[in-house]
Structure 1
Amino acid sequence: MLLAACTPAAPPTGVAHASATAPTAGSVVEPPATRCNDRSGWNDPAAPLRVHGNTWYVGTCGISALLVTSPDGHVLVDGATPKAGGLIVDNIRKLGFDPGDVKAIVLSHEHFDHAGGLAALQEASGAPVFALAPAVATLRRGTSDRTDPQFLALESFPPVADVRVVAQDGVVRAGSVELQAIPTPGHTPGGTSWTWRSCEGEDCLQVVYADSLTAISDDEFRYDDDAAHPGYLAAFRDTLARVAALPCDILVTPHPSASGLWDRIGPDAQRPLVDDGACLAYAQAGAERLEKRLADEAARAAATTP
């Protein structure tokens, strides 16, 4: 097993990797009585689902977590809320995998609803958490600071003991699994999207776990205030362009509703899971929301100017 988080690399391509042993009775394991939908709560249990190949959905109805598996170790993507950490562990076990075989945990962004379960998941697996540098201090403290647009409105979460820095565009590896970190700041300073190849036999697809792109803040933060937050708006716009340009066969987002996941996965799917224009559409929607937010900020500033 090898973990590498310090050197940039191109998006993983090429030969298919073997999937770890998993249930063969179908893509859904013991579905709950209530199906997930876009109105589901963050801590509502979800049945684990195969996304594609060696990529599995192990999160809740309202918050995503993915398990990317190999015979030599797995990578867990995101930790959901503190209450959901145990549900993620249960889902990993329902699929027939051992949480102790998770060799690395990676993060979308440093908020309670995605980082809250990391401490418990680290305890269950023994795996280090990898994050971009701007997120590391927040994860170790369990609290954010004024660099985060939502700082005054955020809940704290259990601090994470073992957090390691992944380089921008660096790769986290466990066995034959390779996930590339794409820096996507904006929703938070440490926002990170992840991309990897997932194969079913010779059918290999590029999965993108794209971070949240919503311009949300507390009452004090302004995206257009470059004096108070130098470069933040420009970085957010760069993020939107970067996500729009990603090779993207399957899009999953930290909130499954943001990418319409429950209409695209499982036995009740009504839309195709694969959509090579999904990342572009997701980024365009984020750009529209950002421009509306900037217009609202300008209007409020004008209304308060004597």
Structure 2
Amino acid sequence: MDWKGRRQSGNVQDERGTGPTQSPGDPFGRRGGLNIPIGSGRGGGLGSIVLIVIVFGVLYFMGVDVTQMLGSGDQVQNPGFDQSETVRNDKPATNDEMKAFVSTVLAETEDMWNGIFAAAGRKYVEPKLVMFSGSFPSACGMASAATGPFYCPTDQKVYLDTAFFREMERRFGASGDFAQAYVISHEVGHHVQNLIGVLPKFNRARQSMGEGEANAMSVRVELQADCFAGIWAKFTDQKGILERGDLEEALNAAHQIGDDNLQKQSQGYVVPDSFTHGTSAQRAKWFRIGFDTGKMAACDTFNNSI
């Protein structure tokens, strides 16, 4: 990924070294079954996802395709910590390479989503990204190395302990800077879902759902975020940022963190009813759909077979 020398976002909040240390635990911990913590509303049913239909409809009839948008970036989870021991509380240099990388990736997501929302007549509210080490308080509870990267809709922030990237490489063979960029763009995809109304409706509806039904809907939410990440990958490709092998890095990362693969590695067998993020094949499929089409309308995981 040719990321050096590009614009860096000012929305990165570097809190590494400011919180308590803790052992990393399972970096793929599921925060109650979703990397989207509950806590933003109760009651009600899922019903029709009105806002997303409106956005998809507008984009479809306008023929919006990010492959033809945003010619310039100005307009608009291998660095990391070693998790073999407890994460240290050392404060890194303010302008270290990891922060530069994360800030650049976030800036590229800002460029794309600002353009897509503007084309639909809406304003994109840029999320903050909090880099931390060990643990750090969020509006959705304590962020820690054990939770893995997650998006909190309450404060509209992405939380990232970059030690997660080292764990991806060591335990699951998901290496490369674009694999890491995929993780960030996936969490930003959850922010987009929050803005268009998908997350608020799901978080309300799951209160009255059984576990199996909530898990099944969670899978669709996660796969849509993967698809949105694929759209961003298409955007970076159009800008000439992708290098040979980058797309394969992202697809491999999506495959490695599928529910079936994680369960096989952790317990030797799979329990499909407990899936909350999708299988390896599903995650890679929906990332690829986003990349191939470059259109939000193609990412409607709620009304299509997954």
Same fold (TM over 0.5): no
- Tell me the TM-score normalized by structure 1: 0.31
Q: Which has the larger strand fraction?
A: 1
Relative contact order higher in (CA < 8 Å, ≥ 6 apart): 2
